[in-house]
Amino acid sequence: MTQNGQAKKAVIRVQRFNPDVDRKPYLEAFELEITDDTTLLDALEHIKNYLDGSLTFRRSCRHAICGSCAMNVNGANTLVCNRRVAAFLDRKGQVTVRPLPYLPIIKDLVVDRTSFWEQYLRVKPWLIPPAGYDDSLPATSEFRVTPEEVAALKTAETCIMCGACYSACQVVAMNKKYIGPHALLKGFLRVLDPRDGDPAGRLEIVGGEDGVFRCHTIFNCIDACPKGLNPTQAIETLRKLAQKRQAFEAARLERQKSL
């Protein structure tokens, strides 16, 4: 450990599971020295480098931007690369790290995110050009978006696809067909983007039987999101728009004439 501050002992209880040898997951405790600056990811890296090289987890950027290190810490989903161990220690100096819940475990802290990505693709997360737009020709004008239109997106574009909201969602836990908060937030982003050419088609998908009307408004997604995003509010907006999707598409076509 190389951080500042006085070193102290901490116990990191990590859920282990190797499908080749274990019948079910179990907790394993590792004692190590931390300082006030030691992150949960630092602690996991220390365990892997010095105590048990078989410990398996995902991480990449270490800066809360790649979304790969989402885990469940003391019962709540979070990123581990930007959270300090000291903030999670109980009176016994322990913290418990588990994989994201409600997803199949591949090994230790690594979960299978296949359903997460499949649902994401259902909302067509890419921009669809307006009808008649030929992207093989050189652009002759800009797609101009007003500051008000950007503000309406409510920073949804800062989602890092970490899966913390998806895995915290009780509806996802019960029904893997549900599109899920992460993908509905992306659908919101595309539906409200004035450059997009298929808002009615998108609203048909997100307003369908696996979409926004399945949400029970439990707010777990908001509590779990490490970026402070609000998928529930986006879902609420999509619910309203889905009920008037043809009128919304007509207004979009009018708007695009001024682009």
Residue numbers at the binding site for ligand FES (CB under 6 A): 59-62, 64-69, 79, 81
Q: In the complex with ligand FES, which residue's Cβ is closer, 23 or 63?
A: 63
Shortest distance, CB of residue 162 to ligand SF4, whole angstroms? 4
Select the binding partner of residue 64 from ligand SF4, ligand FES, none (C-beta < 5 to 8 A, by kind): ligand FES
Nearer to ligand SF4 among residue 13 and residue 62 (C-beta): 62
Q: Which does 61 bind (CB under 5 to 8 A by kind): ligand SF4, ligand FES, none?
A: ligand FES
Count interface residues toward ligand SF4 (CB under 6 A).
Answer: 15
Within 230-259, which residues bind ligand SF4 (CB under 6 A)?
A: 231
Q: Give the Cα separation of 121 and 225 in Å (integer).
A: 20
Binds 175: which of ligand FES, ligand SF4, none (CB < 5-8 Å by kind): none
Residue 40 binds ligand SF4, judged by CB under 6 A: no
- Residue 60, binding choice from ligand SF4, ligand FES, none, Cβ under 5 to 8 Å by partner class: ligand FES
List the structure tokens of 4.
């500042």
Q: How far is the CB of 167 from ligand SF4 (least distance, A)?
A: 9
> Stretches 6-14, 136-144, 219-227, 235-243: which one binds ligand SF4 (CB under 6 A)?
219-227
Cα–Cα distance for residue pair 72/70, rounded to 1 Å: 7
HEC string for 180-192: CHHHHHHHHHHHC
The residue type found at 138 is: P
Nearer to ligand SF4, 14 or 224 (CB): 224
229 makes contact with ligand SF4 (CB under 6 A): yes
Compare residues 197 and 231 and give the one whose CB is closer to ligand SF4.
Answer: 231
Say how far residue 228 (Cα) sits from the centre of its chain.
11
Rounded to an integer, what is the distance from CA 200 to the centroid of its chain? 25
Q: In whole angstroms, what is the distance from residue 246 CA to residue 88 CA?
A: 49
What is the phi/psi pair of residue 110, to 5°?
A: -100, 125
Shortest approach of ligand FES to residue 125 CB, angstroms? 19
State how beta strands 8-16 and 94-98 pair: parallel
Q: Which residues contact 89 (CB under 8 A, 6 or more apart)?
A: 10, 95
Q: How far is the CB of 44 from ligand SF4 (least distance, A)?
A: 19
Task: Tell which positions 158-217 bind ligand SF4, by CB under 6 A.
Answer: 159-165, 181-182, 185
Q: Which residues form the interface with ligand SF4 (CB under 6 A)?
A: 159-165, 181-182, 185, 224-225, 227, 229, 231
